[in-house]
Amino acid sequence: MTGSQQQLRQGDVVAKKYEIDAVVGQGPIGTTYTARALANGKKVALKVINGASIGVAAAQGVVSRIQAARADALVPVIDFGEHNGQLYVASELFEGDTLRRLMDSYAGERKSFNLQEACQIVVRVLEAVEAAHAAGLVHRHVKPANVLVQSRAVGPGVGKTVRTIKLNSLGFSELIQPGTLEEKLADGTDRKYMAPELSSPTTGGTIQSDIYSVGVIFYELLCGQTPMGTYLSPTQIREELPKHVDDIVDIALAGQAEDRYPSARDMMNDIQRAFTDDDKPVSKMSTRTIAMVVGGSVLVLLAVGGFLAMNDPSEKAARADQAQRARIIKENPIDAALQKSKAEGHTNMVYIPEGTFIRGRMRSEAPSLVQATEPEAQEEKVPGFYIDMFEWPNELGGNPPIRVKHDDAAALCASRGKRLCSAVEWERACKGPEMNIYGYGNTYSAETCGAKPGGDVNNDGLLDRASGSLAGCKSGWGVYDMSGGAYEWTDTAGRNPKFRLLKGGKLNQTPEAANRCAFALEQNPTLSDASISFRCCMDDGAPPPVTPAAEAPVAPADGSTPQ
């Protein structure tokens, strides 16, 4: 069953059973609505699956397993069926919010989850995961957006908060035909919570894949950020935490699945020790039994290896980068609601709030990739601004022009009430709120943003790749194609004041070096190379951009008639 994606409206009736009330949210798997059951008036949460599902007949077996997974911490599924060619699943309506929004709220108020809060939330998620595993299901998509939270104030003066936690969307990934939504599901934020062995949340995975995802959530609750690369341990970020919390995180986030907890119950047991005996070490029963079989020599080797790693210059540099990132992220909380409201009316533009970020090359970047002109890990505060989500003409699926001179790019931006970005604004937009080396992360990936050599040009004088066509090629702010494809003009002068800085491309450069957010190239503003395009910015507080009735074509540098 393929089915075309449909947006249901209030009052629409699904399968003659449910009347739509409102949209709750949209995700890569489908759209969730609140609805009323016509038979008894009961409110339900209705998920309508996007794209190609496995069909009603095959879904019967999946739903039976979902319903067999019984736990107070799981949202029960009560019905499923088909409506206009699309599969839907009805679940009990749990009035509350998502853990993602609760985390964002804490960050906005500069609050941290205390140890007890973090442990209670994660233990409830583990209880749900344990029930799923007992029913033969791997969730594959455990993330804060799928953890529902209901909070209520209790006690004298309502000074205490009690939370009810439930895990949602169990088994939904198995209702989609493998391969149909892999790019969307594995993209951006979701990827942070996926175990390394998962190629897609729709296929593969084991019990340990879910444990990895819970480990990421536990780390984020304690540290205010997700672990990246060689991450800092929780106690390095928060000294008041007990040391064995570091061990819990390390086991849950082990790179190899067999090194993680063998079951959700094992991880629960170790977390509960945080409140029974702070001096008691984490149980090593949950690590691979090979260390027990081989004996002390393995532990000695591990200890020596850990000592050498801690004293390795590259390891020290990575930890220093991560410590700086963690501090700046904590000092610059993001108000997602403000970002959304600011962006209204600014079509296909992203609002990036005022804040400090790390400009220039990180300490952990290979010296062979960086330029002497790049500042090293320099903190810089940037006022709020808007930036185009895509290169000119800032349209999803459009092909940006090339061979654009600096002054022509500036004039086209001005025609819409915009301006060329400064190099610092461009770099902040590329690095994202987590201040990555590349727009998509800290490790170079030719596949993520395209592996073609410099230019990527077709015969029409346009980039040979549509804007937004590579789902993973975007920064944490949601700005696309900044670490691959064309260079982009900025309005920042180079060391030669007659020159301007180009950012983001790979013109006659090694892509691994040139695709870095910190990389910049000084060029004569009259240059119109086949690898040069541009995007626009606007000041905070600027009115919505002008939308011209007809787009003026960009004249090729050779003076021929535009195609």
The reply to whether 561 falls in a domain is no
> Which CATH number fits the domain that encloses residue 67?
3.30.200.20
Q: What total of structural domains would you count in the chain? A: 3
Same domain? 359 vs 450: yes
Same domain? 87 vs 102: no
Same domain? 27 vs 127: no
Residue 51 has pLDDT above 70, yes or no: no
Identify the pLDDT of residue 111. 87
Same domain? 67 vs 105: no
Query: Rounded distance, CA 434 to CA 439, Å?
Result: 10
Which tens digit of pLDDT belongs to each residue from 120-134?
A: 999 999 999 998 898
Which structural domain range is residue 425 located in?
A: 341-539
The reply to whether 551 falls in a domain is no
- Token code pair at residue 483: 């670490």
> Which CATH number fits the domain that encloses residue 421?
3.90.1580.10
DSSP assignment of 128-179 equals: HHHHHHHTT---S---GGGEEEEEEEESGGG-EEEEEEEE--TTGGGGB-TT
Identify the pLDDT of residue 211. 96
> Which CATH number fits the domain that encloses residue 111?
1.10.510.10
Query: Rounded distance, CA 428 to CA 328, Å?
Result: 13
The reply to whether 183 falls in a domain is yes
Same domain? 188 vs 147: yes
Same domain? 166 vs 233: yes
Same domain? 371 vs 413: yes
| Cis omega (within 30 of 0) for bond into 393 | yes
Phi, psi of 114 (to 5 degrees): -75, 170
The reply to whether 557 falls in a domain is no
| Residue that wins the pLDDT comparison between 328 and 550 | 328
Q: Which of 177-181, 205-209, 249-253 has the highest mean pLDDT?
A: 249-253
Lowest-pLDDT choice from 96-110, 288-302, 348-362, 484-498: 288-302
Residue 53 has pLDDT above 80, yes or no: no
* Distance, C-alpha 525 to centroid of its chain: 35
Same domain? 85 vs 103: no
Using a pLDDT cut of 70, give the percent of the chain over it.
Answer: 80
Same domain? 279 vs 221: yes
Q: What is the mean pLDDT of residues 285-303?
A: 33
Identify the pLDDT of residue 521. 87
Question: If phi over 0 gives left and psi between -120 and 50 gives alpha, with beta otherwise, what is residue 70?
Answer: beta
The reply to whether 87 falls in a domain is yes
Q: What is the mean pLDDT of residues 276-303?
A: 38
Q: Reduced to 3 states, what is the DSSP secondary structure of residue 341? A: helix
Q: What is the mean pLDDT of residues 177-195?
A: 63
The reply to whether 233 falls in a domain is yes
Same domain? 518 vs 459: yes
The reply to whether 562 falls in a domain is no
Lowest-pLDDT choice from 430-439, 465-474, 552-561: 552-561
Which tens digit of pLDDT belongs to each residue from 523-545?
A: 899 988 888 899 999 999 888 99
Identify the pLDDT of residue 274. 66
Taking alpha carbons only, the member of 192, 207, 196, 185 closest to residue 138 is 207
Compute the mean pLDDT over every residue in the chain, rounded to the nearest whole number. Answer: 80
Residue 6 has pLDDT above 80, yes or no: no
